[in-house]
Structure 1
Amino acid sequence: MPPYYEDLSPGTGRRPPRAAFASDAGRLDLSGTWLFRLSPTAEGAPLDFLGPGDPGPGFTELPVPSHWVLHGHGTPRYTNTAYPFPIDPPHVPDENPTGDHRLVFHLPAGWRGPGSVLRFEGVDSCFRVWLNGRSLGTSKGSRLPAEFDAGAALRPGANVLAVRVHRWSSGSYLEDQDMWWLPGIFREVTLLERPEGGIGDFFVHAGFDPTTGRGTLRVDTDAPALLTVPELGVADLPPGRELVLPAVEPWTAETPRRYEARLATPAECVTLHLGFRTVSIEGGLLRVNGTPLLLRGVNRHEHDPDHGRALSPATMREDLLLMKRHNVNAVRTSHYPPHPAFLDLCDELGMWVVDECDIETHGFIHAGWRGNPADDPAWEPMLLDRMRRMVERDKNHPSVIVWSLGNESHHGRNFGVLAEWTRARDPGRPLHYERDRSYRHSDFYSLMYAPVAEVERIGRREEEAPPETAGDPALEERRRALPFLLCEYAHAMGNGPGSLAAYQRAFEAHPRLQGGFVWEWIDHGFRRRTADGREYFAYGGDFGDHPHGGNFCIDGLVFPDRTPSPGLTELKKVFQPLAMELSGDRLRLTNRHAFADLSHLRLSWTLEDEGVPVAGGGLPAPAVPPGQAAEVPMPRLPATAGEGLLTVRAELAADQPWAPAGHEVAWEQFPVSPAPAAAPAPPSAGARRRGGEVLLGGAVFDARTGLLRALGPLRLRGPRLDVWRAPTDNDRGMGPHSVARDWRRAGLDRMEHRTEAVEPGPGGLRVHTRVAAAGFERALRVRYSWSAHGDALRLAVHVLPEGPWEELPLPRLGVGLELPAEFGHVRWFGRGPGEAYPDSSKAARVGLFDSSVAGLQTPYVVPQENGHRAEVRWAEFRGPCRLRVEGEGHFGFTARRWTAADLDAAAHPTDLVERDRLFVNLDHAQHGLGSASCGPGPLPEHRLEPAETRFALLFRALPAESAG
């Protein structure tokens, strides 16, 4: 017989799964400081800690809940798809770290011991439990609850709870979910009174009929419990009887109306919150209360930078508040059921939830899917057990609208078993599973990382049939009738993702496209410090773990400490539930909510002249019904002397549970008057040689290279053509999809400049150069045309590609220069306040902004191209004097104290060492971001293809005292 941690049993001695709930029966929280000892193997771990005497040697203190590898006992390990042990199911290596946990606790006075239950909310990956030396049983299924009868083993006074946890088990083959492998008792352990005649389990069915406004209410219980809902006048509703209520307010994620209820027997009372809602798929669309949904979703792993998956309720609430404040309305619990408190919060605050089973066998892809448990009947009990435990635990949450059978486990017979059982147990929720492309077990057509063009074809129902259904007309007809979800898209790794707005336009244009879930919510980085105390976040390989998935776990919309990234700011703008269009003096408002009208919002407007506010006020905010539009009149706007921009904001009119009054929900910006055209002034001076220099107005150039050395009192280097950027994670891509690899192969990271001619003359200075990489004939011929115009120096740049560039885009196209280190502040008129790139710029408004150089940087966990400010009209770099740069047309800039090569070489921000100068890029264009770290690259319109290009900039050196 194999040991219990290698057999195919989901557990022994456990009670049947049931709903998660709290009651007035006794509850003893066993969280706190336990004793802990780690053994390197399972077979060699002694059983000398079970009894009332002193445990054997080697025990130290450990908090529970926790992961022992985060407290100095062993190593966290991160893999994406590869198992961290040989593929040899169901066996695991002899080296199987085993953690023994021991707690002595005392029963409270009056505790009713008979019937008591010991409940574990989550233990990774397999455990055995003893109480006072008596074995209660074993369990697998890390992110699911396990309960054991404890009454017979309890004693008055001191009780010894002993738990042996194995890092690896047969269950680990089902838990390859692109995350850190973190063993331990990481969720709460509780002792529960179970009084005789109490409530073991219940299933609340609370439906809503949108046509009549009626609610239906029924509760199924395993005890003769009576349901009371005071607010609805419901008293003592017996189990199994359906009650029709003439009028109820429905629960939705936008309007999470709940009714407090009591379910009681003479021995026990449970307080619960009812949400009336009905989920259906009708007419090929996912509907709640008869209304089709558009899911603006994120995938959420559980992660904390200090505690791993041992999350506090405050952290869970913080996640949901951040999501709600950034217009996220849906969560896919990738790739396992979350802590049950998270679903309580989703019910309370309002969030659509796809609850996903704790199943992923992705590592079998490296074995050609041979031996995949999803298709092996011997694994059926373990897989079905996981589905049952999820459904039974979470069945009473109105926020849970879809059950997911698991993730990235290929296909097989066992998914049919899961689907059949779930549909029988809970026909009121549809099922999702993406990796079986026959979709025979799924109620959704679903894909990951499909390009925008393919998503649009699906929306038009013009997609090609997948091979799995192409030969089966009935199966293909069923698939084509299913609603579509992108269960993962827009890989938010590092700087990105790009194309969020394009995806959202497709979703909003085609009803069949019911949205999707961005991958993913949070970077899975662990907080660490350098020897000198500087903080950074570690990822795969930083702990000496091998094999590892590197920084592929750093792919979230928030940084590990939950600081929003620019990607989340972009997502908020793209997801905003209110569209605004200006036509003449009328503002058209389109309500993109599915259930809420606009009465909870207030509108305001601001008119800016060259970024300076000159007028503003409020606007009437009509209660536009969901999905409808209305127009409001705009006041007469005063004329502006310069470029005029109107910004309209929609804010919360009153406090909401998830944000205070004044929180900005949506905004739009409209140009109302263009900047006045500046007449080009004739050159005011010619250029002349003087020794090794060329003089032009107040500028000094190197006579050999043609590079600018000084502009008035300002000493600088450059500018000269620059096409390189430190690759983003999405530039690096995945597998064959790596534009960064193509760039390096083409030598774009090591371009050399050869000056062909330096030509001073009456009209100014012309410099001809050829820019190319060693070993290649392709080049960029560049002509710099300098001219003096009073106190301004104009640079016109002409770039002409030469040679076989083929399909190779450029990382960037612009000029780079270096300023003295004393320059530490930037003020600009353009998009801001945050960074923006061609396919991620919706969240950046045009305005007047200023920042320190440090504040311009985005501290991505892995350093890469960041901090680009877009559509800049002018920028001033401030130090002992000011360098003002104006564009003839818009330009972009970055300013940092390290080079692109420094960024490229750094593994963590703490690797970056400030240099003795400021490096400035003035960009005509940048390549888009895309999400090719796990998905498509930039859209064609956001690729920076080499082409003949002209752009011009104006430079002025101004005294510091005139800043303002």
Structure 2
Amino acid sequence: MLTDFFRPWASPETTSINRLPMRPALLPYLDRYSAIKADNTSNKLYQSLDGDWDFKVFDTADEAFSEVDGLTSGKKMAKFDGSTEVPGNWTAQGFGTPHYTNIRMPFPELPPQPPAGNQSGVYRRIFGVPGFWKNRRVVLHLGGAESMAMIWCNGEFVGMMKDSRLESEFDLSANLDFSKENELVVLVTRYSDSSFIEDQDQWWMAGLHRSVYLYSTDRIYIQDVAVTAVPLSGNGGPGKLGISVEIGSDSRTDKDFSKDGPFTVTASLSDHQGIQLVNGSSEPASGLCNSNWILHNREHGGQRIKFELQAESVQLWSHEKPELYDVLIELHDKMGNIIECTGLKTGFRTVEIKDNQLLLNGRAVMVKGVNRHEHEDVRGKAVTRESMIADILLMKQYNFNAVRTSHYPNCNEWYDLCDRFGLLVVDEANIESHQFYNEVCRDSRYTAAFTDRVGRMIKRDRNHPSIIFWSLGNESGYGPNHEAAAGLARGLDPTRPLHYEGAVRAEWGQDEYHYERGRSVTDVIAPMYAPVEEIIEWAESEKPEGDDRPLILCEYSHAMGNSNGGLKEYWDAFKKYDCLQGGFIWDWVDQGIRKQSPQGDDYWAYGGDFGDTPNDVDFCINGLIWPDRTPHPAMEEFKKLAQPLEFDLSDYECGIIRITNRYDFTDTSHLLFHCSLMLDGFEKMELDLDVPSVLPDETAEIKVEGIIDGLKSLEEGLRISSGREISLFVSARLRVQTAWGAAGHTVAWEQRVIPLENKAPITNRPYFRPDDKVSDTEVEVSAEGIRLSNGRASLELGAPQLSVWRAPTDNDIIRNLEGQEEKPGYAWFKAGIDRIKCSGNTALTDGYISSEWVTAADGKPVGDIRYGLDDDGALDLILNLDESLPELPRAGVRFALQNEFEDLCWYGRGQKENYPDRKAGYPIKFWQSSVTGEYVPYILPQEHGAHCDTRWFELERSAPERLRLRVSSANPFIFSALHTSAEAIDALTHTWQVKPEKKTFVSIDAAHRGVGTGACGPDIFEDYRVEPGRYQLKLRLQLF
């Protein structure tokens, strides 16, 4: 089989050898109950091969093949290196190492040649099979192998598979020995010709990363089942179930089919009442309908039969109400005995594109989506069910309704869970040729691979109601291979639209979009990282005749590190223009791999940390959640912007609240509504609201007399109170526990801050403790610094330091990555503002102090601070930043408190960090934290911990004596309080290097640059830039 002219790992025309036709992930069962429940714990026709396998690693594919091929002549394998877990990646289990690249291949060879040094692994499993499987058909299921696998059983070659992200099945019937144990050997090459179309932005791993098992069928069996469940009217109306069943037969048997035929196929549809079979009933408890068709005997091959069932009343499936039904397929012999049965779940729904909108069940839906790689920090690509459920629960809790399987089909169970919990899915073929973007899509040697991957994905997954788009892949140009794949897809499944981003690019390259292109291969315009102004321009433009495609961003708001700034501007556009229907954030999870530091501490590693070259450093760390599934602070921003309710609080003086329902299919009866009035961030009055059930897209107006009374009471109290601000806060919470959220979970909220005429800063603390000793604070200003005293204690603040620097975020500049010259961080480093120093202080005649600041490296002017006390005793700080500077990270001052100030509270946005272009999801309240707790452990250390719209904050120390420092202002400011300086963070590359100091570094900013998404996408909006010039802060300083 292997010659100098044919090596399967370097032959793209050969996509498989002896592989069985693709089918859904259905198993055979001997009884109806097990088929409906998909219960394999007692399924006598199923045998898992997961677990420990013998394993040996080789430096090259040729060496591995030479070793294994000798098995055909009776040669025994050499000693194994040990064992490895299946499913798993050997690169995550101590055999070899992971390798991360984004666009470029991890080796220099050109398609279709993998590198000569192609590490390969040989797996071996010894197993027995049940005796009653003899004279039956036995199938091997390999869930996924990266990158190519070849299989031997008892020394005989069985077959070969490619496509790392789809399963392959092989017939082992003729290879097994039922009298003794059997030997299964699988050779897996790390790279192959397939690697050039699996060049996705993820870790290059290797191994059998999905489950391996056997199943047995009779010699006549259910080969394939395809269903289409279509409602014939609205919710609660009739529904039609189209069923196509392919029956396979195997001629390699002594069984005389003519004596047992004709065979009968029965199909039944049951609603959730029928699921009560789990209580012990052996017959369907609630069969909605069933029908029989005669399948006549055929000597060879299979036969496909089609029929329809019609139910009188069905509930529609949607992401909000994922109503599922059970389909049971049975194969009987002529005596009515069950030969085999299998079951699947389906949902009744429609998907269509009409008038530049995506419609689900006839309604336009907003896609609140995210891209998701399969990744765990220890197991690599071998994701567990627990991890998948954790992802889905978080997505639902944070108001996501859609997921794109970037950039390959996921394991089967993911789709079952999306069906069950309710997520819309863009199912993407395992095709990306990013480095060879223009070439491979036009290379006829890869045509079979393109069509094979798209076709097999559809045949496996088409029964899942959650899937609303088939995607032809990602970042692989646009050429004849896509046209061939699209033609096949439309033929296999005309019920779903197609998605492909590259089709609306320019004919060559990735530089420009031409939104009028690609209608033959994509039914949606799906750009990535398009600026807001560009998609608005398209929305307002006249569309080409016959082009009714909506625009849904396949990737946007790149979530690398401290990111996702400007998300509100995208959502403002989505809500304004009907043809802009949302998008998918890039991406879900940081692809960090757990590793230990030299000190033995766990941390998450990225590209280059395993000696992998070339690499793209931390460009794989761009998720909304950490690898342990802890949400980043930016998740709060998305949750708020995507919330399914809108609140209008503009008529608060009249006690009127308007609630608009933005659910697609659900009224508000499942929610409890609550409102509160807050004074300076503290809740003073709370009310449960009596809100009638509001239908989708309708608005309810309620009048709450308690708001009127509460406002009156608070405003009267302000005449003698220190407070100056009232806010109205309204929220909606789950009434009872659901499949994805606990009772009381907040689904949506809104806040209305009510400014009052009294603009004086808050001079008294709005809450007290029994041991509080409040007295006036004396503030002394000199060239040496600022000293506070209150008769009981004093505090030396030192001179305010000019603060224009922040530890760069990934959006500012990606350190150690090429091509960053256009990033703002590059200009900052070039200007030298990362290290500045005070060149001198001058006492001015008005009592103010002027301090001059220059770059530490070459003494270039940065700016000056003029500070002193104004007539009201407030610390007045005036910043003049040199006009020659580029736009800046921030404009403010910094103090370093020498003692351990640890306790922290504030009145402003929180509780999690927020920034000027990412602050919609963080209400203005009173918050409590600690300085230690303000650390945000971004995998590559960077700027973190800021809080916008702060009215005041307070820091407390307990030794040498208890002391509280309070900073307030009439004009909201931005602050952070951390145990690490920006300069220290800037020098670090991993979290294990972060060493908190006893000092507390307090930054107070008049302006702070937004975080944006510039690592991969547009830079920040103009409104969030900090240009050099004049800035002012007026701060009231107090000790308690």
Instruction: Tell me if both proteins adopt one fold, taking TM over 0.5 as the criterion.
Output: yes
- Between the aligned partners of 1:715 and 1:129, the Cα distance in structure 2 is 74
- Between the aligned partners of 2:379 and 2:643, the Cα distance in structure 1 is 32
- Between the aligned partners of 1:512 and 1:497, the Cα distance in structure 2 is 23
- Work out whether 1:6 is the aligned partner of 2:5: no
Preserved CA contact (<8 Å) 1:796 1:952: yes
Q: Which of 126, 150, 164 is matched with 1:128 structurally? A: 150
Residue 598 of structure 1: aligned partner: 668
Preserved CA contact (<8 Å) 1:728 1:864: yes
Residue 67 of structure 1: aligned partner: 89
Residue 729 of structure 1: aligned partner: 810
Preserved CA contact (<8 Å) 1:766 1:786: no
AA aligned opposite 1:796: D
Preserved CA contact (<8 Å) 1:50 1:161: no
Preserved CA contact (<8 Å) 1:891 1:922: yes
Q: Which of 339, 348, 356 is matched with 2:411 structurally? A: 339
Q: Which of 746, 750, 758 is matched with 2:831 structurally? A: 746
- Work out whether 1:781 is the aligned partner of 2:853: no
Residue 173 of structure 1: aligned partner: 196
Residue 449 of structure 1: aligned partner: 529
What is the correspondence of 1:807-826 to structure 2 with a 5 Å cutoff?
A: 808-826=886-904
Which segments of 5 or more consecutive residues in structure 1 lack a partner in the other structure?
Answer: 464-475, 682-695, 959-964
Q: Compared with structure 1, are the counterparts of its residues 697 and 420 closer, same or farther at alpha carbon in structure 2 (3 Å cutoff)?
A: closer
Residue 439 of structure 1: aligned partner: 518
- Between the aligned partners of 1:153 and 1:556, the Cα distance in structure 2 is 46
- Between the aligned partners of 1:905 and 1:324, the Cα distance in structure 2 is 38
- Between the aligned partners of 1:501 and 1:699, the Cα distance in structure 2 is 41
AA aligned opposite 2:952: W
How many pairs were matched up? 917
Q: Which of 211, 215, 226 is matched with 2:266 structurally? A: 226
Q: Deviations over 1:354-385 (max 9, x none)?
A: 000000000115xxx3xx22111221111111
Q: Deviations over 1:475-499 (max 9, x none)?
A: x5455x3111110000000001111
Q: Which of 939, 944, 955 is matched with 1:877 structurally? A: 955
- Between the aligned partners of 2:963 and 2:870, the Cα distance in structure 1 is 22
AA aligned opposite 1:450: A
Preserved CA contact (<8 Å) 1:604 1:618: yes
User: How far did residue 67 of structure 1 move?
Assistant: 0.5
Residue 470 of structure 1: aligned partner: none
* Local SS of the residue matching 1:828: strand
User: How far did residue 679 of structure 1 move?
Assistant: 8.5
User: How far did residue 952 of structure 1 move?
Assistant: 0.6
Q: Deviations over 1:245-277 (max 9, x none)?
A: 343111011110011221111211112112001
- Between the aligned partners of 1:768 and 1:736, the Cα distance in structure 2 is 32
- Between the aligned partners of 1:189 and 1:452, the Cα distance in structure 2 is 46
Task: Give TM-score scaled by structure 1 length.
Answer: 0.92
Which segments of 5 or more consecutive residues in structure 2 lack a partner in the other structure?
Answer: 31-44, 248-263, 272-286, 294-304, 333-338, 505-516, 764-775
Q: Compared with structure 1, are the counterparts of its residues 17 and 131 closer, same or farther at alpha carbon in structure 2 (3 Å cutoff)?
A: same
- Between the aligned partners of 2:476 and 2:781, the Cα distance in structure 1 is 64
Preserved CA contact (<8 Å) 2:781 2:868: no
User: How far did residue 896 of structure 1 move?
Assistant: 1.4
Q: Compared with structure 1, are the counterparts of its residues 824 and 233 closer, same or farther at alpha carbon in structure 2 (3 Å cutoff)?
A: same
Q: Deviations over 1:300-328 (max 9, x none)?
A: 00000000110111111111011001000
* Local SS of the residue matching 1:559: coil
User: How far did residue 295 of structure 1 move?
Assistant: 0.3
Residue 731 of structure 2: aligned partner: 649
Residue 63 of structure 2: aligned partner: 44
- Work out whether 1:34 is the aligned partner of 2:53: yes
User: How far did residue 451 of structure 1 move?
Assistant: 0.9
- Between the aligned partners of 1:196 and 1:27, the Cα distance in structure 2 is 16
Residue 214 of structure 1: aligned partner: 238
Q: Compared with structure 1, are the counterparts of its residues 462 and 742 closer, same or farther at alpha carbon in structure 2 (3 Å cutoff)?
A: farther
Q: Return 174-183 or 525-534, whichever deviates more.
A: 525-534
- Between the aligned partners of 1:947 and 1:210, the Cα distance in structure 2 is 64
Q: Compared with structure 1, are the counterparts of its residues 767 and 786 closer, same or farther at alpha carbon in structure 2 (3 Å cutoff)?
A: farther
User: How far did residue 702 of structure 1 move?
Assistant: 5.1
Q: Return 569-578 or 177-186, whichever deviates more.
A: 569-578
Q: Return 436-445 or 899-908, whichever deviates more.
A: 436-445
- Work out whether 1:326 is the aligned partner of 2:398: yes
User: How far did residue 210 of structure 1 move?
Assistant: 4.2
Q: Compared with structure 1, are the counterparts of its residues 246 and 442 closer, same or farther at alpha carbon in structure 2 (3 Å cutoff)?
A: same
Q: Return 606-615 or 312-321, whichever deviates more.
A: 606-615
Q: Deviations over 1:560-605 (max 9, x none)?
A: 1110001112111111111111123111111111111111111111
Identity %: 37
* Local SS of the residue matching 2:130: coil
Preserved CA contact (<8 Å) 1:863 1:903: yes
AA aligned opposite 2:416: D
Q: Deviations over 1:735-780 (max 9, x none)?
A: 454111111112221233233521376xx54435355565576542
Residue 862 of structure 1: aligned partner: 940
AA aligned opposite 1:14: R
- Between the aligned partners of 1:81 and 1:111, the Cα distance in structure 2 is 48
- Work out whether 1:845 is the aligned partner of 2:885: no
AA aligned opposite 1:262: L
Q: Return 885-894 or 71-80, whichever deviates more.
A: 885-894
Task: Give TM-score scaled by structure 2 length.
Answer: 0.85
Preserved CA contact (<8 Å) 1:777 1:803: no
* Local SS of the residue matching 1:417: helix
User: How far did residue 781 of structure 1 move?
Assistant: 3.5
Residue 362 of structure 1: aligned partner: 434
- Between the aligned partners of 2:526 and 2:602, the Cα distance in structure 1 is 40
Q: Compared with structure 1, are the counterparts of its residues 2 and 49 closer, same or farther at alpha carbon in structure 2 (3 Å cutoff)?
A: closer
Residue 331 of structure 2: aligned partner: 265
Preserved CA contact (<8 Å) 2:593 2:606: yes
Residue 769 of structure 1: aligned partner: 852
Preserved CA contact (<8 Å) 1:771 1:782: no
Q: Deviations over 1:14-41 (max 9, x none)?
A: 0011112233151111100110000101
User: How far did residue 175 of structure 1 move?
Assistant: 0.3
Residue 240 of structure 1: aligned partner: 306
AA aligned opposite 2:200: Q
Preserved CA contact (<8 Å) 1:888 1:951: no
What is the correspondence of 1:388-399 to structure 2 with a 5 Å cutoff?
A: 388-399=455-466
Residue 685 of structure 1: aligned partner: none
Preserved CA contact (<8 Å) 2:58 2:120: yes
Residue 138 of structure 1: aligned partner: 160
Q: Deviations over 1:181-203 (max 9, x none)?
A: 00000000010112233211011
- Between the aligned partners of 1:301 and 1:768, the Cα distance in structure 2 is 51
- Between the aligned partners of 2:762 and 2:140, the Cα distance in structure 1 is 82
Residue 616 of structure 1: aligned partner: 686
Residue 107 of structure 1: aligned partner: 129
- Between the aligned partners of 2:430 and 2:629, the Cα distance in structure 1 is 24
Q: Return 315-324 or 608-617, whichever deviates more.
A: 608-617
Residue 526 of structure 1: aligned partner: 593
AA aligned opposite 1:829: Y
AA aligned opposite 1:24: Y
Preserved CA contact (<8 Å) 1:199 1:225: no
- Between the aligned partners of 1:189 and 1:799, the Cα distance in structure 2 is 66
Q: Compared with structure 1, are the counterparts of its residues 928 and 394 closer, same or farther at alpha carbon in structure 2 (3 Å cutoff)?
A: same
